[in-house]
């Protein structure tokens, strides 16, 4: 508890730098990642992340210093080179893009490891810390780092704002962008450049392997909440930033815990949470829609029982016992009772002792469903030329889904029929 | 002698990876192989924690379980949640890898694995871990035996399953129409990849496994149009990488695993450029 | 005799039906064309018949039996573009696949298999190419290899997806001759075809498809202006609206 307070009060300026740094990194990678995600190039980010390692090592070997600016320039060069090579391999050979990504990713990283270990073994004292690029060093971010990250994040955001419309178009419809004369190659170059930049800085928080998550995971999660690109970017940014915050909090409270993996853990949980709980597209929402459908099907089917019985003996408003109702249709007792209670709530049925009676409004509702069933049978029979004995099963389902608007279209198209293909009367409600 | 053992283990693993990798890239599943090789980490750690030692068997079980879990998760994200394939792969393996690292940190005192080892292994220690029988006879490095066993198993799998792998890789729908169980072949191959990954893990690390799975087969694919030749050539490229890598590493005093991947990449580059030149010449004639 | 019977066959993609209540019975010993505009569900119909896509309602019978019981009598020729022709294999390797069965997958290829495959290649005039790599074939040659693979199965019913797309005139001629030979041997061939112009010359029997079945019967009965207009005159408005609704509301074509 005490440490939570210490963390939140930022009484230790180092804590502030770490929190600010990781949040900035998470947020800027998430923004760029949305475009990678939409352009289906999620794994290219992974390749760039791995390709940055040799660049960092080479920059160190050439300059002999660990100045973050030099290292980022080196990272930038090999990151870009990896993109060009992936493109070159897929263009000039029969290898597919996933293989090309795999080749570049593993070879560049192998070269990076070779150089890194060689530097380490050479006994150059100033090399200590280069391996932070492997696993990230979020917990030891400094003031200078925050300045560098802040500047780069600002550049990224600026570029995205400036070219927002154009980026949007080449993400959703690159062919159209070309047709209307947008400089697609230039825009792709800009997007690739900010991706490499975002990866080059992000890698310092979570390391090579997990960098892909910083790009892809927030975008994937955000996609479940919205169809609008702007909103998606905002949500992804929020996911990235909050995960950065939580990751640094956890490793502050439990110092043995690594920050990078916890950031990724938070991101993954947020995304899996989105997959489950997002409105409309989430698993839970889809499950609920299914349940609503089942409920609607059940009550409409029970209502139809009263109509069918009434059609047989002429007494639509007669009292019916559960036994009679069960005998009319293949329905489980439990289901039937649930349906009856639901209908009572709607005021479409009334209970009289052991018996049930349909109300006026219930009868109208029953007529509507029966009418839709029979209209659909007619439609299948006339338009799809199905035999009368082949139309019932389909109508059993479709009757529950037809909207009033479609109902009017059907009536009109079939010219207000009075009989269905089995010569039963189609009821119209005045 | 030390050099011999290291090169032998490197070559054995390189051949195993080359054989499986050939099928992976033909199935356009190169990145799934990448994902599995990262995602087995938590399986290894959990096996380590449960068995309390670096015994091979529990590790294999743990890794195989995680390998299958990885493919299942990827498919769940992709099919059930309509998430695009590349994103499903990316999310799954980073998440599992993060869990693995967190577990290592959580049980740092009990798990004798470190992060560097995970990424680039320690093939240089192979000759030190000897298998000495109870009667005191020195059988040579333990890893040599394990890697040989793996290779034999894979050779048996590919020899017996050649037709099944062939038809499900080339034309899955036709195989289904013949009534062949395509899911069986899919999961058998994924299981084999997990197995190879975990066995290679402590000697060469996750990244080199990916390099050996993808790069030699891709190199071979550029110059052959026959599956059997591709299997053979990719094995040869794998062995060449292992030999070249060992000497490159000792030359500049770096990681052997990194050097093997670098040499594999260099071979690919050479073949690629030669092919480009050859094509150009054919066109200009 | 009935070769294929479908009964109220509905196939949905994301719950939206792409085939609605397809009901037909096809005769044996005929060359049958499945015709319809783009996106009318022709390929899906073949896949449903071969059990390659899940159906949402209805069933398919082949020779009055379930597919599982007559698999060895049915042969499927997928679309040429559905595979990667850069795959490292020879023409012979591909045709030999026609001899693969569920229960011989672990056995070696026999001399008899090779003879049958060679014979099949002979029939499509490709025997001299048997050692050629498939990446070096032209579109027409690729199609012939696929048909040879199917012939090597020695089936009674052949189901082909767009075999005439992107092939040269010689191949088209060769395939047509082959289809007639097969018919003369009493085999049944069902072909998905998109070109209305040639359909009348190619087939004896026609199934007109546009999400729903418009008509099925001998070509003389089918080739009239009214039916063709119905098939090619766009989708049924109400039907496609209901389909959209089913996708939107996650509604199944059967209640459960």
CA distance A234 to chain B (A): 19
Q: Quick one: pLDDT band at residue C131, thresholds 50, 70, 90?
A: very high
Contact A109, A52 (CB under 8 A): no
Query: Which residue in B has a C-alpha nearest to residue A211's C-alpha?
Result: B94
Secondary-structure percent of chain C, ordered helix, strand, coil, rounded to 5: 45, 25, 30
**Residue B210 and residue A105: Cβ atoms within 8 Å?**
yes
Q: Kindly report, residue by residue over C82-112, the tens digit of the pLDDT.
A: 999 999 999 999 999 999 988 888 888 999 9
Q: Is residue B86 situated within a structural domain?
A: yes
Question: Is B282 an 8 Å CB contact of chain C?
Answer: no
Here the CATH number for the domain that contains residue C196 is 3.40.50.300
Give the position of tokens 């698999």.
Answer: C71
**Residue B105 and residue A117: Cβ atoms within 8 Å?**
no
- Which residues in chain B have Cβ-Cβ distances shorter than 8 Å to A257? 102, 105-106
Structure-token pair, residue A224 = 């479940």
Question: Is B225 an 8 Å CB contact of chain C?
Answer: yes
**Residue C51 and residue B177: Cβ atoms within 8 Å?**
yes
| ipTM summary value | 0.92
**Residue C50 and residue B166: Cβ atoms within 8 Å?**
no
Q: Is residue B227 situated within a structural domain?
A: no
* pLDDT for residue C159: 96
* pLDDT for residue B282: 75
- Domain range for C92 is 2-248
Q: Is residue C256 situated within a structural domain?
A: no
Structure-token pair, residue C68 = 């599982």
**Residue B176 and residue C97: Cβ atoms within 8 Å?**
no
Q: Is residue C255 situated within a structural domain?
A: no
- How many domains, in total, are found in chain C? 1
What is the residue-wise DSSP string for A356-418?
Answer: EEE-HHHHHHHHHHHHHHHHHHHHHHHHS---GGGSHHHHHHHTTT--HHHHHHHHHHTTS-S
Q: Is residue B248 situated within a structural domain?
A: no
**Residue B227 and residue C89: Cβ atoms within 8 Å?**
yes
Minimum-distance CB partner of B163 among C87, C88, C100: C100
Q: Produce one character per residue of C7-40: b if its CB has 16 or more CB atoms within 10 Å, e if not.
A: ebbbbbeebbbbbbbbbbebebbbbbbbbbbeeb
> Low-confidence residues of chain B, pLDDT below 50?
none
CA distance A263 to chain B (A): 9
- Which residues in chain B have Cβ-Cβ distances shorter than 8 Å to C109? 163
DSSP designation for C106? T
- Residues of chain C numbered 92-111 and touching chain B (CB < 8 Å): 93-94, 97, 100-102, 105-106, 109
- Domain range for B75 is 2-205
- How far is C-alpha A296 from the geometric centre of its chain's CA atoms? 28
Minimum-distance CB partner of B265 among A40, A111, A217: A111
Cα first-last separation, chain A: 69
* pLDDT for residue B279: 85
Structure-token pair, residue A286 = 């889809």
Query: Could you give the CA distance from residue A280 to residue A287 in angstroms, rounded to a whole number?
Result: 10
- How many domains, in total, are found in chain B? 1
Q: Kindly report, residue by residue over C194-230, the tens digit of the pLDDT.
A: 888 899 889 999 999 999 999 999 999 998 888 988 8
Query: Could you give the CA distance from residue A366 to residue A184 in angstroms, rounded to a whole number?
Result: 58
Here the CATH number for the domain that contains residue B199 is 1.10.3470.10
Query: Could you give the CA distance from residue A26 to residue B233 in angstroms, rounded to a whole number?
Result: 43
* pLDDT for residue C148: 96
* pLDDT for residue B285: 61
Question: Is B162 an 8 Å CB contact of chain C?
Answer: no
In this structure, what are the phi and psi dihedrals at residue C10, rounded to the nearest 5 degrees? Answer: -125, 130
Q: Quick one: pLDDT band at residue C44, thresholds 50, 70, 90?
A: very high
* pLDDT for residue A7: 75
* pLDDT for residue A330: 80
Identify the residue among B19, B30, B157, B170 best suited for mutation to test binding to C, counting C beta carbons within 10 A and taking the highest.
Answer: B170
Region of residue B181 (phi > 0: left; psi between -120 and 50: alpha; otherwise: beta): beta
DSSP designation for A282? S
> Low-confidence residues of chain A, pLDDT below 70?
1-2, 124-128, 430
Sheet strand arrangement including A349-352:
A320-321, A355-358, A349-352
State the Cα torsion C241-C247-C251-C254 to the nearest 10°: 80
Contact C73, C187 (CB under 8 A): no
Chains with ≥3 Cβ pairs under 8 A against B? Answer: A, C
* pLDDT for residue C172: 93
Residue A382 CB partners (closer than 8 Å, separation 6+)? A414
Q: Kindly report, residue by residue over C162-202, the tens digit of the pLDDT.
A: 999 989 999 999 999 999 999 999 999 999 998 888 998 89
* pLDDT for residue B172: 93
pLDDT for residue C256 is more than 80: no
| Of A416, A15, A47, A5, the residue nearest A216 (C-alpha) | A47
- In this structure, the strands spanning A349-352 and C31-35 are unpaired
- The size of chain B, in residues, is 285
Query: Could you give the CA distance from residue A201 to residue A24 in angstroms, rounded to a whole number?
Result: 10
Cα distances (Å, whole numbers) of residue A316 to A66, A304, A352, B69: 89, 11, 15, 57
Query: Which residue in C has a C-alpha nearest to residue B172's C-alpha?
Result: C83
Angle at B200 between CA B199 and CA B205, to 5 degrees: 130
- Residues of chain A numbered 367-396 and touching chain C (CB < 8 Å): 379-380, 383-387, 390, 393-394, 396
What are the start-end ranges of the H helices in A163-228? 164-172, 174-179, 184-206, 211-223
Average pLDDT over residues C131-160: 95
Cβ-Cβ contacts under 8 Å between A and C: the total is: 69
Question: Is B80 an 8 Å CB contact of chain A?
Answer: yes
| Of A382, A377, A379, A378, the residue nearest A393 (C-alpha) | A377
Q: Is residue B226 situated within a structural domain?
A: no
**Residue B28 and residue A213: Cβ atoms within 8 Å?**
no
In this structure, what are the phi and psi dihedrals at residue C195, rounded to the nearest 5 degrees? Answer: -95, 110
Q: Is residue C94 situated within a structural domain?
A: yes
- Residues of chain B numbered 23-52 and touching chain C (CB < 8 Å): 26
Q: How many CA atoms lie within 13 A of A174 on its CB side?
A: 10
* pLDDT for residue B63: 81
In this structure, what are the phi and psi dihedrals at residue C19, rounded to the nearest 5 degrees? Answer: -135, 130
Residue A399 CB partners (closer than 8 Å, separation 6+)? A300, A369, A370, A372, A373, A376
**Residue B260 and residue A209: Cβ atoms within 8 Å?**
no
- Which residues in chain B have Cβ-Cβ distances shorter than 8 Å to C89? 166, 170, 225-227
Question: Is C137 an 8 Å CB contact of chain B?
Answer: no
Q: Is residue C253 situated within a structural domain?
A: no
Q: Is residue B275 situated within a structural domain?
A: no
Query: Could you give the CA distance from residue A41 to residue A196 in angstroms, rounded to a whole number?
Result: 13
Domains in chain A, CATH or no CATH each: 2-278 (1.10.3470.10), 285-358 (1.10.10), 363-413 (1.10.60.10)
- Which residues in chain A have Cβ-Cβ distances shorter than 8 Å to C236? 383
pTM of the model: 0.90
Minimum-distance CB partner of C21 among A390, A409, A410: A390
Query: Which residue in A has a C-alpha nearest to residue B248's C-alpha?
Result: A114
**Residue B229 and residue C71: Cβ atoms within 8 Å?**
no
């Amino acid at each position: 508890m005490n440490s939570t307070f210490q963390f939140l009060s930022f009484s230790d300026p180092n804590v502030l730098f770490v929190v600010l740094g990781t949040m900035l990194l998470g947020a800027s990678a998430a923004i760029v990642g949305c475009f990678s995600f939409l352009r289906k190039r999620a794994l290219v980010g992974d390749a760039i992340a791995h390709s940055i390692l040799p660049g960092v090592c080479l920059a160190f070997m050439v300059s002999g210093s660990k100045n973050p600016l030099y290292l980022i320039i080196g990272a930038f060069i090999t990151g870009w080179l990896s993109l060009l090579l992936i493109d070159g391999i897929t263009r000039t050979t029969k290898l597919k893009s996933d293989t090309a990504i795999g080749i570049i990713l593993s070879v560049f990283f192998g070269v990076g490891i070779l150089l890194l270990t060689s530097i380490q073994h050479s006994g150059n004292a100033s090399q200590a810390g280069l391996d932070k690029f492997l696993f990230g060093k979020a917990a030891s971010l400094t003031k200078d780092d925050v300045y560098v990250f802040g500047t780069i994040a600002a550049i990224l955001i600026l570029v995205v704002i400036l070219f927002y419309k154009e980026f949007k178009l080449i993400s959703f419809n690159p062919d159209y962008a070309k047709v209307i004369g947008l400089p697609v190659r230039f825009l792709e170059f800009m997007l690739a450049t900010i991706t490499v930049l975002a990866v080059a800085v992000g890698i310092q928080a979570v390391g090579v392997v997990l960098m892909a998550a910083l790009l892809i995971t927030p975008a994937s999660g955000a996609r479940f909440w919205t169809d609008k690109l702007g909103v998606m970017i905002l949500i992804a940014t929020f996911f990235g930033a909050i995960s950065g915050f939580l990751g640094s909090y956890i490793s502050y409270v439990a110092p043995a815990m690594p920050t990078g993996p916890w950031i990724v853990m938070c991101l993954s949980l947020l995304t899996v949470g989105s997959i489950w709980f997002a409105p409309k597209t989430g698993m839970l929402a889809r499950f609920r829609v299914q349940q609503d459908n089942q409920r609607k099907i059940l009550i409409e089917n029970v209502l139809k029982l009263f109509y069918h019985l009434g059609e047989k003996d002429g007494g639509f408003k007669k009292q019916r016992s559960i036994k009679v109702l069960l005998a009319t249709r293949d329905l489980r007792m439990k289901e039937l009772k649930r349906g009856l209670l639901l209908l009572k709530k709607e005021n479409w049925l009334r209970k009289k002792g052991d018996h049930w009676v349909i109300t006026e409004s219930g009868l109208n509702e029953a007529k509507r469903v029966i009418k839709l069933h029979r209209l659909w049978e007619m439609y299948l029979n006339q338009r799809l030329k199905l035999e009368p004995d082949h139309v019932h099963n389909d109508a059993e389902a479709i009757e529950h889904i037809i909207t009033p608007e479609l109902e009017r279209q059907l009536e009109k198209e079939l010219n207000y029929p009075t009989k269905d293909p089995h010569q039963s009367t189609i009821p119209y409600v005045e | 002698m030390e050099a011999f053992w290291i090169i032998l283990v490197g070559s054995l693993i390189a051949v195993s990876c080359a054989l499986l990798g050939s099928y992976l890239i033909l199935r356009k599943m190169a990145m799934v192989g990448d994902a599995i090789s990262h995602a087995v980490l938590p399986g290894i750690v959990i096996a380590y924690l449960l068995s309390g030692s670096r015994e091979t068997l529990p590790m294999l079980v743990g890794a195989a379980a995680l390998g299958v879990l990885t493919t299942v998760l990827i498919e769940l994200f992709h099919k059930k949640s309509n998430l695009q394939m590349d994103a499903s792969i990316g999310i799954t393996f980073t998440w599992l890898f993060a869990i693995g690292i967190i577990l290592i940190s959580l049980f740092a005192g009990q798990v004798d694995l470190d992060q560097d080892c995970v990424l680039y292994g320690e093939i240089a220690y192979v000759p030190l871990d000897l298998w000495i029988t109870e009667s005191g006879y020195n059988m040579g490095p333990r890893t040599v035996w394990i890697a040989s066993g793996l290779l034999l198993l894979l050779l048996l799998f590919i020899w017996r399953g050649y037709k099944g792998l062939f038809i499900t890789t080339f034309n899955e729908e036709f195989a289904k129409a013949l009534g062949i169980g395509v899911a069986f072949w899919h999961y058998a191959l994924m299981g084999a990849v997990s197995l190879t990954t975990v066995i290679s893990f402590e000697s060469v690390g996750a990244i080199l496994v990916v390099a050996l799975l993808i790069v030699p087969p891709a190199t071979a694919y550029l110059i052959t149009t026959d599956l059997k030749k591709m299997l053979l050539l990719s094995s040869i490229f794998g062995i060449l990488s292992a030999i070249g890598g060992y000497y490159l590493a000792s030359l500049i005093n770096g990681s052997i695993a990194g050097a093997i991947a670098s040499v594999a990449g260099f071979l690919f580059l050479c073949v690629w450029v030669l092919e480009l030149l050859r094509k150009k010449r054919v066109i200009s004639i | 005799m009935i070769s294929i019977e479908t009964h109220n066959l509905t196939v949905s993609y994301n719950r939206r039906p792409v085939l609605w209540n397809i009901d037909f019975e096809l005769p044996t010993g005929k060359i049958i064309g499945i015709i319809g505009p783009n996106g009318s569900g022709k390929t899906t119909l073949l896949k449903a018949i071969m059990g390659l896509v899940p159906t949402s309602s209805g069933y398919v019978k082949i020779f009055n039996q379930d597919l599982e019981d007559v698999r060895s009598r049915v042969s499927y020729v997928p679309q040429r573009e559905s595979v990667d022709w850069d795959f490292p294999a020879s023409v012979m390797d591909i045709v030999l696949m026609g001899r693969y069965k569920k229960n011989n997958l672990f056995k070696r290829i026999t001399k008899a298999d090779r003879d049958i495959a060679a014979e099949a290649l002979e029939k499509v005039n490709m025997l001299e190419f048997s050692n050629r790599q498939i990446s070096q074939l032209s579109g027409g040659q690729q199609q012939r290899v696929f048909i040879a693979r199917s012939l090597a199965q020695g089936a009674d019913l052949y189901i082909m997806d767009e075999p005439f797309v992107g092939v040269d005139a010689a191949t088209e001629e060769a395939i047509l001759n082959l289809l007639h030979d097969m018919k003369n041997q009493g085999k049944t061939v069902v072909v998905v075809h998109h070109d209305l112009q040639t359909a009348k010359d190619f087939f004896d029997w026609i199934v007109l498809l546009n999400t729903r079945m418009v008509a099925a019967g001998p070509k003389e009965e089918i080739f009239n202006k009214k039916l063709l207009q119905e098939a090619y005159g766009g989708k049924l408005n109400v039907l496609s609206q209901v389909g959209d609704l089913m996708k939107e509301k996650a509604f199944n074509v059967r209640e459960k």
